[in-house]
Each structure stands twice: as C-alpha cells, then as structure tokens.
Amino acid sequence: MSIDVSIRLGTGDAAIAAEYTRVREQLPQALRAVQVLAEQGLPHFKLPSQTGDLADIAALAGGLTDGAKDLVILGIGGSSLGAKALCQLAGWGTPAQPSLKDRPHLHFVENLDGRSLAGLLSGLDPAATKVLAVSKSGSTTETLAQLLIVAAWASARGADLARHCAVIAEPGNNALRQWAQMTGCPVMDHDPALGGRYSVLSCVGLVPSAVAGLDIRAIRHGAAQALAPLLALDEGSSWAQGAALNMAAMACGRSQSVLWAYADRLEKLTLWWRQLWGESLGKQGKGSTPINALGPVDQHSQLQLYLDGPNDKLITIITTQDGDDLAVPADAAGRIGQSLLGGRTVAEIVNAQARATAEALVRAGRTVRVIHVPRLGEQAMGALMMHFILETLVTAQLLGVDPFDQ
Amino acid sequence: MSIDVSIRLGTGDAAIAAEYTRVREQLPQALRAVQVLAEQGLPHFKLPSQTGDLADIAALAGGLTDGAKDLVILGIGGSSLGAKALCQLAGWGTPAQPSLKDRPHLHFVENLDGRSLAGLLSGLDPAATKVLAVSKSGSTTETLAQLLIVAAWASARGADLARHCAVIAEPGNNALRQWAQMTGCPVMDHDPALGGRYSVLSCVGLVPSAVAGLDIRAIRHGAAQALAPLLALDEGSSWAQGAALNMAAMACGRSQSVLWAYADRLEKLTLWWRQLWGESLGKQGKGSTPINALGPVDQHSQLQLYLDGPNDKLITIITTQDGDDLAVPADAAGRIGQSLLGGRTVAEIVNAQARATAEALVRAGRTVRVIHVPRLGEQAMGALMMHFILETLVTAQLLGVDPFDQ
C-alpha cells in the first residue's frame, strides 16, 4: 500500500507556487520540531508501532460482540469520529450496511437528541444489546446523559449492566469510571496524554474496529509506514509537502481546505479529518476551514461553487482503484442510448469522474492535490490517518500554533 | 408553526451592522424582482399552494410501499437531497432508524460506488425490493448506471420490473423514460422548469416522503405560509432579513455561511441547503461557501475553530423545543457526581447547549443568527425549506447572479 500524491497547481496560481517554494525552505525546521515531539515519547508517535495492547483490545471487542445483535457506542467528537471512519471501511455507514449481518449492528449515537435516542431504544432488544461508552475526561455531558438513559432502559428490562456495558476513560476519579465501578462493567484506559482527535489508533478507534471485523494490527502497521519518513526528516514525504501546500494556500487567501474522497468508505474519514484540522489549527485567528466532500455525489452539489465561485479553496481529492467489479449491462445500456456506459465497471466510471473533476478545477485556476490509494484496506486507512495527523502537526509548526490544546 | 428569528450581531461587528442597514435599503427592489419571478408563474412559487397533484403522488408512493420491505431510491444531488431532508423528519437517517419497522426501509444510494452498491444488493430480497429512479434530465450518468445494475440484479432473480420500479424524469425522449417504456414501469413527470435543487416540494421530494408516512399536504402548507410575505413585499420577513444579513456578511469578508441545526431530524436539511446555496449563488467569483453543522455534536468538532479561528463566518443556529421527554435518571446521576444532569430532559440539555453556543460565539465577536422552530413537524419543514429557497433567491437578486442556472 502506498499513497501517491500529485500536487497540481492551477493556472494563474503563480502566487501559490511561489509561496509553496518559499514555505518548503522552512520544512526542515518544522519537521525537526515534530521529530522532537516524537522523541519526547508522546503516544501520538508511539501508537503506530505498539502491539502490546492489541490482545486486550481484541478481548474487550470480543466481549462486546458475544451475544450481541446491536452495539450502541456512546461518545462524541474525538471519541467517535475516528472509530466511525475505521468502521466505514467494513461497510458501516455506507449503503452496503444492510448486508453486514454476521456482526453486531453498530449504532454510533454521538449526537445528543432525545427523539433519536428514544427511537433507537424502541427498536432494540435489551437482551442482545451491548453498550460502549467512551469519554477521555470521563465527564462529557452528552455521553453521560446518554449512558444513564440507556442503562436505565436496559436495567429496567433485566439486562445485567456488568455483562452488557464497557467503558473507556482516562484513569482517575471521573464520573464514567465511577459508573463502571458502580455497575462492575469492564474499563479500558484512555491515555491521558492523547487528545480525543488523535485517539483513533488507540483503543478508542480499535475496539469498535475489531467488533466490525477489521484487522487492527494492519491499521497500526499502515500508520507506522506513514510515520517512517519523520525519522529520516524526509521533506519529500506526502504529508510534509501537504503541510507546505496548505501553508502556501492560506498565505494566498485560500481560507478553506476541502477534502474530497471518491469512495463511500472514506466519507467518515473526511469528517474525522474535519475535527482534526479545525480543532488543531483554528486558534489565534489562524487556520483554514476544513470542508468535507464525497465524490462523485458532490459534483452534483458543490462543484459549481468550487469551479465558479470565489477562488478561496485548496482542494484535495482522494481516489482509489479499489472498487467492486460491478459492470453496467451492455445490452440494456445500448437500448436506452447509453452505449458509452455499457460494459464499464462502476470503479472505471468513478475514477474517470474524479480525474475529470480534478482537470476541470485546475483549468478553472483552482489549486488541486490528488491523493491516490491503490487498495483501500486497513493498512491504507492507517496510513491515511497518520498522513493527516502528521500534515496537521507540521502545519501547526509552520503556523506557530499548539496543535494539542483547545 | 412559526419561525422565530433573532439576528445577533457580535460585538466588534460594527462593520456588518452598518452594511446590514445599508443592504436593507435595497430589499424592496430585490423583493419586487422576486415577486416578478413569481408572477411569471415559475413552479417554484406555484408548488406551495398546489394540491391537484397530491393524489397521484400518494398513489405512486402507495405502489412503491405495497409489498416492499426495502425501497432503493436512485437519484443524485437535487434528485435526492430534498427527499432525504424530508424523510429524516420521520426518523430516517437518524439513530432512530432501527425502530422504523412498519414502513419500507429507504435506501438513498445517491453516491456512485460499486462496492457499496454490491453490498447493498447482497443484503436485499429482490421479491420485496422496489426501486425509484429520479433524474430531471433523464440522462444522469450515476443514476442510469445504478438503475441498469439494480434492474439486472432484480430481473435475474425473477422480479417483474414493471411492478417493482418507477421513474421520475422530465418529458421527452430521454434515457430514463426510454427505460420506463422498455420495462413498462410507471413514470411521473419532473417539471422541466424546476431545477433539481428547487424540486423538493414536487413529486421528487414528496413521493419518498409519502412512503415514509409523512403528511405531504402539510409540507406544502408550511411552504405556502413562508411564501405569503412575498405577496406583501414584507421586508421584515425572516428570509428577507436573512438575505440582507448574508449580503452584509459577504461584503465584510465573511466568506462562509454555516447552518448549524440542533436536532438530528434537521441534519439532512443542512445538506439540502448546502446544494441550494452553493449552486445558486456560487458563480462569477461570487457567493459564500455553505457549511453544514449539527449540534451539539459539532461543538466537539467545529466550535473551537468557529470561536477562535479566522472570523470569516456567518453562523445560523436552528433550535427546536420539539424533542422527546426522555429524562436523565436522577438517582444514578447523583451517584456519579452529576446531580446537575439528573432529572433534566434531553431537550432541556440540548437547548441549553444551543443557547450557550450562540452566546459564546457572540461574545467572541462572531455574527450569529438563531432560527427557532417550536414544533418540528411537516409544516415546519415546508416552511423552513421555503424560507431558505426565498432567502437564496433574494440574495441572488442582491448579488446580481442568476439563481436558476448552473
């Protein structure tokens, strides 16, 4: 698995091109600063190569899978966006979801809404429902409110909370851990040094991934591959170049950064990235607004604006060849005057659209980057996530903001 | 049902306030221009009070419901975003979805992705699956490719396409109508004068809504209420003021307009609006970028950026009192040190968060508008949609762009 990156600067973007060249000169210093963070032993950099915790993660996931028709995951923002992004690789949250019948149905409640929560509970069998509550601080209002309501619902229907629930929170005397002690349910530690938006490679992202049937070791492995260039201070790495391009775009008035993925399985990745980028860089009046998009569907919703509206965006398109070889039936296509579509696979059509969109944007003078992922498996997801984490950290160095605070 | 709108200008926004006052002077002329469009008989303005087509819409929906465990809806952008927004009012696309067992499961495939489509089909029973394909032009690549694949899947498994499928397309010799003729399935007309992003109040939005069990007459009625001020050229209407505020914000460098709804049932409304706003105004280098957000969940993902990043956004928050009266159990809350949460309903907590978010944004000098919807039923959805359509059309007049072309 590799990430091929091509950075296309639209015609008329001489200003960005010049700025990009200038910023690249600052890269060695920024990379060195991130390397120092790594040397300080921050978990952000240790997690990719960590394997000692995988058995415990798999065991907790096994307990949540055993006898479960449904798994309700409570957790908001950093406690759920990464897990959703990973589970989508297994088809969760895509139209393919109805076919996922051999695993518990995952319900990421996340947003607090009484009508939704009541509706969800009315459709579940408490005897076959398990619950995972995740909050770093152990005191997140939304998650606690949801957990107390769901637990009361389950208890009233005879479920044993110790067997049906599990909790992830940092150590200490916080509300979530008190609740776990009260009910006797299993607890896993959230690393106190790991902010929610960086927690995807820890148990926060990997327990749900294991329930969804993903290879969690491969996710870590992909992340380690994307991290490797940091040790070599490689300015040519895709994420170092990406940071320089983002800096150049911001300096030239591109106030928005669009991540446009051409695969349903990457839709939640763009939402995970949206928090990572926004919360890490949006401070002291600095940063750019992260915007998620999905292709080809957003060609029919956003492309008009991106092509002909204000030229204020850096647009990153992610493509993959890894589709299904579903082909459009040639006979029927011919009979309705669509012989150009006939016999082509959906992956071919989508890739042609992604390329055409990138070309059209460049022709319109917009700044475009294309990230290509040949095969979209666990290793690629780990690599993509680490790519964006590192791109964010290097950009923070160049911007002069602290990417870890809030 | 009414929409209460309060426009809050953050401290330090003297420039926007002055510009807002200036733009309001141009409102009478802009309203008159939109009124002229209405007098020309455009379907955009006739639909709210139209009732003659409701029986046919209900009949088509009845046929798609009859014997169906699943309804696959093919259509992209304007052919699906409005329908999704309406169906979400009935719980579709929220965590409450598993409880919706007495109606066909709705699958809006929308995005073209072979892996997703293959996964979806493998989970469906062809004998109990119906299909609705929607394309104004009748020649949308994504929709045709999906339809040909789904039809081949259904036919190969013995389904009679004439009974299992239906089509919405404009009259003429287009591919979708040719396909309908070939298979003998029912067809409904897409009004040729109605662009996709304005089609929600036509059969495009209302057939899926009727399948979801919504009162389609009430949706139209709410829209008619929101439209009424146009006849009176009422500059005080919520959408006229909204257009002026958006113009003032754009003139003062607010390049982004955020629609932040505090209810799961409004999440897809924000995506529908995103197309409406972006495609109608994003041309000739003009327009602002529409950004969707959901509360309270995006407090944990986007709020940091909105509060402390660049001050380049107009933020519209939609609140509703209409939740479920699920309350947090007081006993258990007290035992984990959360007595402040105990006994409070989820709706109370969410409303307190929405108010606190608006306050915090205003204190940080950001420009905030609050739209309050007391009861979130069909009538309110119709009114909200017409509100945003009219706000877009008036803004287009003020900006000097054609809101109907692409």
Indicate yes or no: CB of A116 within 8 angstroms of CB of B96: yes
Question: Under a CB-based contact definition with an 8 Å cutoff, are residues A176 and A165 in contact?
Answer: no
Q: Quote the domain boundaries for residue A152.
A: 47-214
Residues B234 and B372 in one domain: yes
Contact by Cβ (8 Å): A354, A295: yes
Contacts of A192 (CB under 8 A, 6+ apart): A136, A170, A171, A172
Name the B residues in 112-171 with CB < 8 Å from any A CB.
Answer: 112-120, 122-124, 140-142, 144-145, 148-149, 151-152
Are residues B346 and A113, on separate chains, in Cβ contact within 8 Å?
yes
Question: If you compute the radius of gyration of chain B from its CA atoms, what whole number of angstroms results?
Answer: 22
- Residue A304 corresponds to which tokens in the numbers above? 């008009």
Contacts of A114 in chain B (CB under 8 A): 323-326, 345-347, 350
Confidence (pLDDT) at A10: 82
Say if residues A318 and B112 touch (Cβ distance below 8 Å).
no
DSSP A63: H
Say yes or no: B70 and B195 in one domain.
Answer: yes
Q: Any idea what the CATH number is for the domain that residue A188 is in?
A: 3.40.50.10490
How is residue A387 written in tokens? 């790519």
For residues A107 and B98, the answer to whether their CB atoms sit within 8 Å is: yes
| In a shared domain, residues B304 and B155 | no
Q: Which residue of chain B comes nearest to A294, CA vs CA? A: B111
* Structure letter (DSSP) for residue A377: S
User: Are B99 and B202 within one domain?
Assistant: yes
Name the residue facing A119 among B91, B107, B151 (closest C-beta): B91
| B124 shares a domain with B249 | no
Helix, strand, or coil here: B61? helix
Ranges of residues in chain B whose predicted pLDDT is under 50: none
> Which of the listed residues A214, A238, A259 is the one where a domain comes to its end?
A214
Euclidean distance between CA atoms A180 and A114, whole angstroms? 23
For chain B, say whether A110 makes contact (Cβ under 8 Å). Answer: yes
Residue of B nearest to A333 (CA): B148
Q: Using CB atoms, which residue from B275, B291, B304 is nearest to A406?
A: B304
Residues 60-89, chain B, touching A (beta carbon < 8 A): 70, 76-78, 81
Could you tell me if B338 lies within 8 Å of chain A, comparing CB atoms? yes
- The pLDDT tens digits of the residues spanning B190-216 come to 999 999 999 999 999 999 999 999 999
Residues A246, A392 within the same domain: yes
Alpha carbon distance A270, A291 (integer Å):
8
Cβ contacts of A291 on chain B, cutoff 8 Å: 289, 291
Question: A115 and B141 in contact by Cβ < 8 A?
Answer: no
Across the interface, do A301 and B275 touch by the CB < 8 Å criterion? yes
- List CB contacts (< 8 A) between B324 and chain A: 114-115, 117-119
Contacts 24+ apart (CB under 8 A), A179-184: A179/A133, A179/A144, A179/A147, A179/A148, A179/A151, A179/B332, A179/B336, A182/B332, A182/B335, A182/B336, A183/A151
Cα–Cα nearest to A287, from B10, B363, B306 = B306
For chain B, the domain total comes to: 2
Q: Which amino acid is at B245?
A: L
Per CB-CB distance under 8 Å, the chain B contacts of A94 are 113, 115-116, 119
In the sheet with A70-74, reading across from the earlier edge strand, the strands are A105-108, A70-74, A129-134, A165-169, A187-189
Of the candidates A145, A123, A152, the one whose C-alpha atom is nearest the C-alpha of residue B346 is A145
> Under 8 Å CB-to-CB from A208, ≥6 apart: which residues?
A61, A71, A73, A83, A86, A87, A106, A132
- Euclidean distance between CA atoms A205 and A216, whole angstroms: 9
Nearest CA in chain B to A266: B113
- Cα separation of B334 and B344, whole Å? 12
CA A106 to chain centre: 17
Would you say residue B405 lies in a domain?
Answer: no
Pairing mode, strands B165-169 and B129-134: parallel
pLDDT in tens, A54-82: 999 999 999 999 999 999 999 999 999 99
Look at residue B370 in the predicted model and tell me its pLDDT: 95
User: Final residue of a domain: which of A170, A192, A214?
Assistant: A214
Q: In terms of domains, do A156 and A223 share one?
A: no
Which positions 311-330 of A are in contact with B (Cβ < 8 Å)?
Answer: 311-313, 322-329
CA of A316 to nearest chain B CA: how many angstroms apart?
16
Residues of A in contact with B282 (CB under 8 A): 304-306, 308-310
Distance CA(B94)–CA(B268), nearest Å, equals: 10
Gap between the terminal Cα atoms of chain B = 34
Which candidate, A371, A308, A270, A252, places its Cα nearest to that of B289?
A308
If asked whether residues A23 and A73 sit together in one domain, one would say no
For residue B94, give the nearest of A116, A265, A349 by CB distance.
A116
How far, in Å, CA of B274 to CA of B268, rounded? 10
* Closest-approach residue (CA) in chain A for B364: A285
B59-B63-B64 Cα angle (round to 5):
115
| Contact flag B285-A113 (C-beta cutoff 8 Å) | no
Mutate to test the interface with B, among A84, A106, A148 (most CBs of B within 10 A): A148
Residues A112 and A127: their CA atoms lie apart, in Å, by 24
- CA dist B243 → A79, A224, B248, B262, B291 (Å): 37, 50, 9, 22, 16
In a domain, A406, yes or no: no
Which two three-digit tokens encode residue A297? 């569907």
pLDDT category of residue A322 using cuts at 50, 70 and 90: confident
> Domain boundary residue among A164, A189, A214?
A214
Supply B70's token pair: 């699943």
| CA angle B363–B365–B370, rounded 5-degree value | 75
- Check A350 against B70: CB less than 8 A apart: no
Number of alpha helices (DSSP H) and beta strands (DSSP E) in chain B: 17, 10
Cβ–Cβ of B278/A111 closer than 8 Å?
Answer: no
Residues A227, A247: Cα–Cα separation, whole Å: 21
CB contact A90 to B (< 8 Å): no
On whether both B33 and B51 belong to a single domain, the answer is no
Return the number of CB contacts < 8 Å for A and B.
364
- Write down the pLDDT at residue A1: 54
- In A, which residues are within 8 Å of B123 by CB distance? 96-101
Question: Which pLDDT score is estimated for B294?
Answer: 98
Residue B337 lies in a domain: yes
Domain shared by A371 and A286, yes or no: yes
Going from the C-alpha of A19 to that of each of A7, A22, A23, A258, A277, the distances in angstroms are 14, 5, 6, 19, 21
Nearest to A114 among B76, B323, B333 (CB): B323
Distance (Å, whole) CA A117 – CA B264: 10
CB contact under 8 A, A256 and B406: no
Distance of alpha carbon B299 from the chain centroid: 21
Same domain, B107 and B12: no
Cβ–Cβ gap A286/B294 under 8 Å: no
Cβ neighbours around A187 below 10 Å, total:
18
The three-class DSSP label of residue B153 is: helix
Whether B404 is covered by a domain: the verdict is: no
Q: Which residue of chain B comes nearest to A257, CA vs CA?
A: B289
Residue A71: inside a domain: yes
Q: How far apart are CA A404 and CA B193, in angstroms?
A: 52
Question: CA of B133: how far to CAs of B108, B182, B208, B389, in Å?
Answer: 10, 14, 11, 24
CB count, 10 Å around CB of A348? 17
Closest CA to B262 of B387, B327, B352: B352
Q: Which of A70, A79, A97, A113 to mutate to test the interface with B (most CBs of B within 10 A)?
A: A113
> pLDDT tens digits for A81-124?
999 999 999 999 999 998 888 899 999 999 999 999 999 999 99
What element of type H or E holds B119?
A: helix B114-122
Q: How many CB atoms lie within 10 A of CB B402?
A: 12
Residues of chain A found within 8 Å of residue B118, distances taken between Cβ atoms: 96, 324, 326
For residue B236, tell me if it sits in a domain. yes
Sequence-distant (6+) residues with CB within 8 A of B17 are: B9, B248
Q: Are residues A58 and A207 in the same domain?
A: yes
3-class DSSP state of B318: strand
**Pairing state between β A367-373 and A313-320:** parallel
Task: Please spell the DSSP secondary structure of A112-170, one letter per residue.
Answer: --HHHHHHHHHTS-GGGEEEEEE-SSS--HHHHHHHHHHHHHHHHTT--HHHHEEEEE-
Gap between the Cα atoms of A286 and A263, Å rounded: 31
